[in-house]
Amino acid sequence: MILNHLNLAVSDVPQTQAFFEKYFGLQAVTKSNDALVVLRDAAGMVLTLSNFDRAAEVRYPEHFHIGFVQASPDQVNELYQRLTADGFTIDPPRKFHGSWTFYLRAPGGIMVEILADM
């Protein structure tokens, strides 16, 4: 069994969509609006971003996050460099739970982990 669909409630659908498209290569398969967009990655994962209640803030439990596994630690470092060059304030990648990883709060309020197995 493969997890291949996830809906995330976010405070700003278009801004969060742009983030996932720019840094992780997801592509919209529906027209975006302030309430919903459906994104898909190259492997067929479907990620929907929603804000049906027009919430100004979305709160998840403290340690809730989603992850994007990279093929190598070098790819983690490259993504870190792109994000920090674009103005994101992020702690540098580090060895943690057997991975080379870093976390950031994405637009829309979602915690994202970028990691590669070591």
> What does pLDDT average to over the chain?
95
Q: Could you give phi then psi for residue 77, rounded to 5 degrees?
A: -60, -40
pLDDT at 23: 97
18 token code pair: 């742009």
pLDDT in tens, 63-95: 999 999 999 999 999 999 999 999 999 999 999
The gap from C-alpha 38 to its chain's centroid, in whole angstroms, comes to: 14
pTM of the model: 0.92
Report how far apart the first and last C-alpha atoms of the chain are (Å, whole number).
25
Q: Report the C-alpha gap between 18 and 52 in whole angstroms.
A: 18
pLDDT at 1: 86
CA atoms within 13 A on the CB side of 107: 17
